[in-house]
Structure 1
Amino acid sequence: MGTLWINATFYTMEREGESNEAIFVKDGLIKAVGLKEQLLHKYKQEITETIDLERAFVYPGFVDSHLHMIGHGEKLLRLDLSEVYSSNEMYELLKKQANRDDEWIIGDGWNENNFVDRKIFHCSELDLISNGKPMILSRVCRHAALVNSKALELAGITKDTPNPDGGVIVKDIQGQPTGLLLDEAAELVKQVMPNVQMLYIEKALRLAIDDMLAHGLVGGHSEDLAYYGDPLGTLSVFEQVIEQGEQRFRAHLLVNHKAVEQVGAIKLKRQGRYVETGALKIFADGALGGRTALLSHPYTDDPSTSGVAIHTQEQLNDLVKLARENNMNVAIHVIGDGALEMTLNAIEAFPATSGRDRLIHVQVARKDLRERMKKLPVILDIQPRFVASDFPWVQERLGMERLKESFAWKTLLKDGLACAGGSDAPIEPVDPLLGIHAAVTRRKPEEGHQGYNPNERLTPFEAVQLFTTGSAYAINRENFVGKLKEGYLADMTVLSKDLFQIEPDEILKAEVLKTIVDGRIMYSKE
């Protein structure tokens, strides 16, 4: 009937430092927290199992507030270029991949900023090793892609092809495409790729969930429904794997506006025990790495551009209006301050009547824009790990003066703005401990300095809040999940170390001992 969990430090996340020594769970809910002997006495007729956690440290179940679960599974299946640190190494890996018996050569995660020579391959170089097969390589930010000539040919991209709305076909001085496609331009190639089979999506999703559970995650807010053909088919895979299967995991799915335009909002509405749909997802701009994030002033290292607006102001307004007509909040990808300004214009024109809108990334936020955000029912969905990945090269993009108001997580919290924490996997590693470490240190694990903009470092409690109470607040469920408290869901992450007492670099040495969803152990290190 009920389970008593004992012999651990149970951090409630209700207040900093508050903990208990035992928790009683029944029917997937926390029925009581407190002293072991008191709970044993009070619930002795209902306790059917006692689990000794052997002096571990227990937190409310970690939830990744922004990622792409199927994309994370694909990263585990495909050629992963995210850990490649030279252009020569990337070239050799691509040569090996080209010899496989695949119709297309597909890779993910390259980042020229990791290379000493900052090399971005030309399509003609990729042609030399692709054996006549089409090739597409997504950049780590997923706002740019490299393709070879065969892929350009299949997509019908020539020197005369105009830039699509919200995208750029990069061309050389002769006007010929180089193979680098920014934002919506990459969709021209993706449209001619073979249709994804549902069995492939299912395999990727199962891999992703297993990996996330092993990293202590009980749930994730994911955006996947517009990338694999039929949105309803993709949604049905989530339901089949999670609701109808044995993999207990809380999947809150953002709904890309393209999916709504394709099949309608009503057909995509779900409110299951483990799978639910949420806000309308919209992209306002691109990413800093490819200089497609929309800034209010030109890039410091390339004054010829200020980035890319995915939509005009009128189009963005119409998409927010579409959400309101369907009783939906919005979740808008916004990295540059130019895009943030456009987004706030749209939300102010069509304000939410209930719930909270979500602003995803918010990497460059001027003070005047922060003041506007404070007046709106919004939560900022930040990815602390970006500090470790984007510095120091992002200083070249933004310049030191503008950087003072960028990646400024502590400033956002001091301004009273609610924040949730995610990874944006597969762009960053899915491990929440990496995100917590980055929030606390603002540097890479192997670096020893005080952090980039050290005044923006978070305390360990604030960092853990991002992945617990913050993620709950993002979906308007702060009174039901995100704390170890009576009446809350019995979702718990069990670690070998006390994140609030150890040195920051020791965070990365913490082991996930158990991941518990609905009071059931879904992962155990043993």
Structure 2
Amino acid sequence: MKIYYNGTIYTMDKEGRTVAAVGVEGNRIVALFEETPEIDGAEYIDLKSRVMFPGFIDTHIHLVGTGMALGGIDFRDDRSIDDVMKKIAAAAEALPEGSWLVCEGYDDNQLNHKLTRRELDAVTSHKVIVKRICRHAAIVNSAAFNALAISEDVADMEGGHFERQDGMLNGWVHDNAMELFVNASVHETEESLSRHMERAADAMHAVGLTAIHTEDLGYYNNFHNVFRAYQHTFGKGKKQLRLNLLRHTSIFEELMASDYTYDTWIKADSMKFYADGALGGRTALFREPYSDAPETSGLAIYTQQELEAEVQKARRYGATVAVHMIGDRACEMVLDAVEKYPPRSGRDRLIHVSFLAEDLIDRMAELPIICDVQPSFLTSDFPWAIERVGEERLTYAYAWQTLLNKGIIIGGGSDAPIESFNPLVGIDAAVNRRPFDAAVQYTMDEALSVFNAVRLYTELAATVAERPDNGLIKAGYLADFTILEADPFTINPFNIHQIKVAMTVVDGDIVYSTIY
């Protein structure tokens, strides 16, 4: 038996409950102790006054994209457009002729600059795609348009928009239009996908993640390569990170017909699709027009009939759906569909649900659904989100406390690489509801207590994952633990995002440690 002791150990089954020690045999918790026991032959693991929780879980990540971003060109931390352009020029110079340059994390709000096609053309003749931080829009250059034979008279497609200025393409492409360029730029193999996954897994262990929900299968040309890379990379004695797989509608039926097997490391989850776009590019779908762009209410990826057909597709296989929705109208469309075609069993997943209304929340409370929310969105979206939607729509924006009050299950995710996959960043955001470099807090009546914020990444996240033996420190549960250098319940709450991880344990094995 292994005995974890000499720390503050939160079980998370009740607010404030701690134990003195935890006994583990193999990959399971077998005992909780009110005092540290003396057991002959036991291996004692000294926490050295650190703080232990159930293993943190992220309910929404793009694993491959995160690994690629960690090893590639990313503008998330840049504050100067000059720095961005220098990075693009340097990266392009190192590429062989005919290559695509793919960049991540461009934030025009943070940089106070919206790139144009002509600016990219002036830097390089390589094909360039710079993804906006939301990953629902991108800026591409003329070489990219030429490579896809897209001319100035191209028409918008269903669920996709080519942006123009003075009647000419300005290089910004949205949602399905962006996917044309993303798909053309992807040339991944099973081996390269495994490398991206390994890089991401190591980084995730370092911030205390023991399990994630990921959605990768519909984006890298061949989902078989992605699935085989999962199998090659994850498992006991490999990268020990538990995966719930959201399965994109574009490959869902073919995947269902395959003979892939699932286990505790790789678990099948809902069929995923998108109902709308993102707030930053004004493609999130609202009932009313944008306050700062009254000519648009956003972008519907599907008509109501098409959306209902997607739900019916999942139901034919006995599956639940996981649907991306930012705006209130997108949520309304999805609720109409899942009420009409309810699941045979399980819970449908509503992803993001950033902007809601009282009637929508009341309907949600009557349905077998869970919500997959991203607290870090608020830290990036404010204050400019107020200009987008106006004060009135803030009443049920990022309404996490209201959802909990209504008895709706919500789990915490990051949507990495869009936001940081560090759960402590998400916990801080759920508690404090402000950008980390600002003192202003927003709609604090929806702020969570520290206990409930931690639950988003432990007990509630395990419920979202349908993993009944995870998310608590409890006898019989999996021995997945996250050990922190400081206690989020006792430090200044504004400093929660700065807490470091001391150790991560998955399946009874230490996979990351700064103390041993």
TM-score scaled by structure 2?
Answer: 0.97
More divergent stretch after superposition (351-360 vs 154-163): 154-163
Q: Using the alignment, how far apart are the partners of 2:421 and 2:92 within structure 1?
A: 28
Q: After TM superposition, list the pairs within 5 Å mapping 1:372-451 onto structure 2.
A: 372-449=363-440, 451=441
Of 258, 262, 267, 2:250 maps to 258
- What does the per-residue CA deviation read over 1:20-78, in whole Å, with 9 as the maximum and x for residues that have no partner? 011111120111112234x54xxx36x53111111111000000110101111111111
- What does the per-residue CA deviation read over 1:234-291, in whole Å, with 9 as the maximum and x for residues that have no partner? 0110111112752111111110111114x24242754223112211011111000000
The question of whether the paired residues in 2 share the 8 Å contact of 1:356 and 1:476 is answered with no
Distance 1:227 1:129, change over 3 A: same
Task: Compute the displacement of 1:190 (Å).
Answer: 2.6
1:456 maps onto 2:452 in alignment = no
1:142 maps onto 2:138 in alignment = no
Q: Give the share of equivalent positions with the same residue, in percent.
A: 38
Of 105, 110, 132, 1:109 maps to 105
The question of whether the paired residues in 1 share the 8 Å contact of 2:186 and 2:221 is answered with no
Q: Counterpart in 2 of 1:79? A: 73
1:163 maps onto 2:156 in alignment = yes
Q: Using the alignment, how far apart are the partners of 1:446 and 1:172 within structure 2?
A: 33
The question of whether the paired residues in 1 share the 8 Å contact of 2:10 and 2:18 is answered with yes
Distance 1:148 1:275, change over 3 A: same
The question of whether the paired residues in 1 share the 8 Å contact of 2:4 and 2:23 is answered with yes
Q: Using the alignment, how far apart are the partners of 1:152 and 1:171 within structure 2?
A: 14
Q: State the one-letter code of the partner of 2:162.
A: I
Q: Using the alignment, how far apart are the partners of 1:442 and 1:317 within structure 2?
A: 35
Task: Compute the displacement of 1:110 (Å).
Answer: 0.4
Q: Using the alignment, how far apart are the partners of 2:142 and 2:95 within structure 1?
A: 19
Q: After TM superposition, list the pairs within 5 Å mapping 1:311-322 onto structure 2.
A: 311-322=302-313
Task: Compute the displacement of 1:198 (Å).
Answer: 2.1
Q: Counterpart in 2 of 1:466? A: 456
Q: Counterpart in 1 of 2:466? A: 476
Count residues in correspondence.
513
The question of whether the paired residues in 2 share the 8 Å contact of 1:28 and 1:490 is answered with yes
Distance 1:500 1:295, change over 3 A: same
Of 223, 233, 248, 2:215 maps to 223
The question of whether the paired residues in 1 share the 8 Å contact of 2:186 and 2:220 is answered with no
Q: Counterpart in 1 of 2:188? A: 196
Task: Compute the displacement of 1:191 (Å).
Answer: 3.3
Distance 1:238 1:194, change over 3 A: closer
Q: Using the alignment, how far apart are the partners of 1:402 and 1:358 within structure 2?
A: 23
Q: State the one-letter code of the partner of 1:485.
A: K
Q: State the one-letter code of the partner of 1:398.
A: V
Structure 1 unaligned regions, length at least 5: none
Q: Counterpart in 2 of 1:53? A: 47
Q: List 4+ stretches of structure 1 deviating above 6 A.
A: none
Of 317, 324, 329, 2:320 maps to 329
Q: Using the alignment, how far apart are the partners of 2:362 and 2:226 within structure 1?
A: 39
Q: Using the alignment, how far apart are the partners of 1:278 and 1:191 within structure 2?
A: 24
The question of whether the paired residues in 2 share the 8 Å contact of 1:159 and 1:171 is answered with no
1:153 maps onto 2:112 in alignment = no
1:366 maps onto 2:357 in alignment = yes
Distance 1:74 1:301, change over 3 A: same
Q: Using the alignment, how far apart are the partners of 2:350 and 2:165 within structure 1?
A: 35
Q: Using the alignment, how far apart are the partners of 2:58 and 2:311 within structure 1?
A: 24
Matched residue of 1:435: which SS?
A: helix
The question of whether the paired residues in 1 share the 8 Å contact of 2:61 and 2:413 is answered with yes
1:294 maps onto 2:293 in alignment = no
More divergent stretch after superposition (412-421 vs 213-222): 412-421
- What does the per-residue CA deviation read over 1:96-135, in whole Å, with 9 as the maximum and x for residues that have no partner? 222112411111010110123xx222212211111x2100
Q: Using the alignment, how far apart are the partners of 1:190 and 1:244 within structure 2?
A: 33
Of 54, 57, 61, 1:63 maps to 57
Q: Using the alignment, how far apart are the partners of 1:328 and 1:140 within structure 2?
A: 30
Q: State the one-letter code of the partner of 1:211.
A: A
Q: Using the alignment, how far apart are the partners of 1:509 and 1:402 within structure 2?
A: 31
1:179 maps onto 2:165 in alignment = no
Distance 1:221 1:194, change over 3 A: closer
The question of whether the paired residues in 1 share the 8 Å contact of 2:414 and 2:420 is answered with yes
Structure 2 unaligned regions, length at least 5: none
Q: Using the alignment, how far apart are the partners of 2:197 and 2:481 within structure 1?
A: 22
Q: Using the alignment, how far apart are the partners of 1:356 and 1:340 within structure 2?
A: 16
TM-score scaled by structure 1?
Answer: 0.95
Matched residue of 2:102: which SS?
A: strand
- What does the per-residue CA deviation read over 1:289-317, in whole Å, with 9 as the maximum and x for residues that have no partner? 00000001100000000000111111111
Task: Compute the displacement of 1:519 (Å).
Answer: 1.0
Q: Using the alignment, how far apart are the partners of 2:184 and 2:21 within structure 1?
A: 56
More divergent stretch after superposition (82-91 vs 352-361): 82-91
